[in-house]
Structure 1
Amino acid sequence: MKFLVFVGLLFLATANGRFVQDELVPTKWMDRIIPDDGNERIFGGEPAEIADFPYMIAYLDLTRGGFRCGSSAIGLHWVLTAAHCLEIMTPVNQLQLRGGSTMRNTGGVIFSVQAYWMHPSYNTRLEYDIGLVRTPDNHPIVGTNIAFIPLAGICPDTQVCCDVCDGVSLLVSGKFRTPEGSTNSLNQLTAPVHEWNDCMRIWNRNGPSFVCKAVIDGRDTCSGDSGSPLVIGTGANRVQVAVVSFGTSVCGSGSPSVNIRVEHGPVRNWITSLSGI
């Protein structure tokens, strides 16, 4: 069985999506997996080391206390995350990326942010909830325990596709929450894909950009895990196939969590058009 790992006021609308450098008031959603206080993470995960997940990057918003979302390093200057992590439109000089650290707010290497984009089809139903962050030319994403995660290629299926299908398990890495409380360090969990039609019925959605992760024994992504990567494969053969998007506000309650498929054509093509990856 394959596994997916979960580990100023400038707003320009372009063909490549919304290019953001400053701040507007975000829409509030109870089910987005974004932290209210920066303390909640994956629920019921197991401890992980950054050396095993070197592509994990912490997205930091200094205007909101630091850690905001998870993300993944996909290229020398590029990080992939969820669009709703970016829609607050914080000025780029108040944003940072932390790589190479098991801890979310200490250690590793800090990278500055030059710009970020949200997918042009991102909407209030969280369809196409995916975004890109770029570092400056003089600040490549390199360092100890930092590596890039390959992205899945385009799959023509509109619902489930390639390796992301019924029976496949996903590995997620992020800053999870345990039953005993929150954790500031990296955690991981593995969970199967939830059947697509049933998930869309539960969430009253019908989006081809979605793939759903089942909740088993209360193990789930939670507040703060937004933007974290879901991967399949093991070791050097891991490939990112999705990005954490949203789930129930009661973490681990049993409802499937919803993620954005990297391999969906309009998603994958947009990533390539901006980053060349």
Structure 2
Amino acid sequence: MIRQVFLLVTLAVAAFAGPLSDRFLNGRIVGGAPAVDGQFPYQVSLRTFPALGHFCGGSIIQEHWVLSAAHCTINRTPANTRVVAGTVLLNGGANPQLHDVERIVNHPNYDSALIAQDVCVIRVTSPFIFTANVRAIPYASHFTGGGVDAVVSGWGGTAVTGGPAPNNLQWIRKTTLTNADCRARMGTANERFVIDSKICTFTQAGQGICQGDSGGPLTAGGYVIGIVSWNIPVTRGFPDGYDRVSYWHSWITQNIS
């Protein structure tokens, strides 16, 4: 345990002095609140197979399709990936739906160095059965500027220093930033990660994403507007980064049609 905590502290300190890297992906909600059944019916958990361990989040956007992040699935196959919907609990829930995966479509220009084009769509073999706890959410075609109230949800450890992942889905309110404001807050070492296809949020230090809900939804006004992509650990006053769904609207539509 002591060695694990030391490693986390080392990564956090490195984030202030140097650029982002893939080590800082897979965010978790820190400073959030537990969700209740039906609050986020579009939220899914991406699982390994056969162990069914959670590794990323996603959003149901059609009866056969999930929207997520390419860095979650770039090295995965349909055979070793499953989708769980209909529950806010990683283990349990009244009527969770477990779906096999037919196809994973990662953006062909995904760039792991810049964490760019970080978008994918996943087709499940059987359609989601829509209920009060399972429902699609529209994916935004409209541009979202700064100062918009938004919500991000996901699973993962809930403490700055790590700890076990919560069984219950967590959520938190965030405020969007303009990209210019986000670049200024990121500083010269990391401003290059705030490209046009990203959207950032910030509320206050001690709240945000850290490790476990990459690929999950940032929503506002009934639309998914962002896909959890990157962060500087660990909720120390830097913005969180998402792929901007409106930027990829045409690409998403073409690949799920």
1:215: how far off?
A: 4.2
Q: Which residue of 2 aligns with 1:20?
A: none
8 Å CA contact retained: 1:71, 1:228: yes
The 1-side partners of 2:119 and 2:30 are apart by: 22
Aligned twin of 1:269: 250
Is residue 114 from structure 1 mapped to residue 102 from structure 2 by the alignment?
yes
Deviations 1:43-102 (A, max 9, x none): 11111113011000101112676101000000010000000000122x322211000011
User: 1:241 aligns to what?
Assistant: 225
Once the two structures are TM-superposed, the CA of residue 185 in structure 1 deviates from its matched residue by 1.1
Residue from 29, 32, 37 that aligns with 2:25? 32
Report the AA paired with residue 231 of structure 2.
Answer: G
Which residue of structure 1 aligns with residue 146 of structure 2?
166
Question: Is 1:127 aligned to residue 147 of structure 2?
Answer: no
Identity %: 31
SS in 2 for 1:190: strand
- C-alpha distance in 1 between matches for 2:157 and 2:150: 18
Is the contact between residue 69 and residue 225 of structure 1 (CA under 8 Å) also seen in structure 2? Answer: yes
Deviations 1:226-247 (A, max 9, x none): 00111112xxxx1111111000
Q: Distance in 2 between matches of 1:191 and 1:33?
A: 18
Partners in 1 of 2:197 and 2:51 — Cα distance? Answer: 29
| Offset at residue 254 of structure 1 (A) | 1.1
- Seen in structure 2, the aligned counterparts of structure 1 residues 42 and 64 have a Cα distance that, compared at 3 Å, is farther
- Kept after mapping to 1: 8 A contact 2:151/2:173: yes
* In 1, Cα distance between equivalents of 2:145 and 2:36: 28
How many Å apart are 1:178 and its aligned residue?
2.6
Task: Decide which of 113, 118, 135 is 1:147's aligned counterpart.
Answer: 135
SS of residue in 2 equivalent to 1:51: coil
- Summarize deviations over 1:167-222 as a string: whole Å, max 9, x none: 11211111153339431211110011133123235223251100011141411012
Deviation at 1:263, TM superposition (A): 0.4
* CA distance in 2: counterparts of 1:50 and 1:226, whole angstroms: 21
Aligned-partner Cα distance in 2 for 1:142–1:63:
23
Residue 16 (structure 2) aligns with: none
Count how many residue pairs are aligned between Structure 1 and Structure 2.
225
2:70–2:107: 8 Å Cα contact kept in structure 1? yes
- The 2-side partners of 1:42 and 1:114 are apart by 29
8 Å contact 1:50–1:186 — kept in the other structure?
no
1:241 maps to a residue whose letter is I
Runs of 4+ in 1 over 6 A off after TM superposition: none
Q: Which residue of 1 aligns with 2:239?
A: 256
What is the correspondence of 1:58-97 to structure 2 with a 5 Å cutoff?
58-62=45-49, 66-89=53-76, 91-97=77-83
Mapped contact 1:215–1:255 kept (Cα < 8 A): no
Normalized per residue, the structure richer in helix is: 2
Q: Which of these residues, 146, 157, 173, is aligned with residue 190 of structure 1? A: 173
- The answer to whether the Cα contact below 8 Å between 1:44 and 1:177 also exists between their aligned partners in 2 is no
Deviation at 1:143, TM superposition (A): 4.6
C-alpha contact 1:63 1:94 (8 A) present in aligned 2: yes
- Gap runs ≥5 in structure 2: 1-20
Structure 1 portions without partners, runs of 5+: 1-27, 35-40, 156-160
Task: Kindly provide the amino acid, as one letter, of the partner of residue 177 in structure 2.
Answer: H
Q: Provide, for residues 88-142 of structure 1, a one-character-per-residue CA deviation record: whole Å limited to 9, x for no partner.
A: 22x3222110000111243411000011011122212111101000012xx1011
SS in 1 for 2:41: coil
Letter paired with 1:271: I
Look up the SS of the partner of 2:30 in the other structure: coil
Paired residue secondary structure (1:263): helix
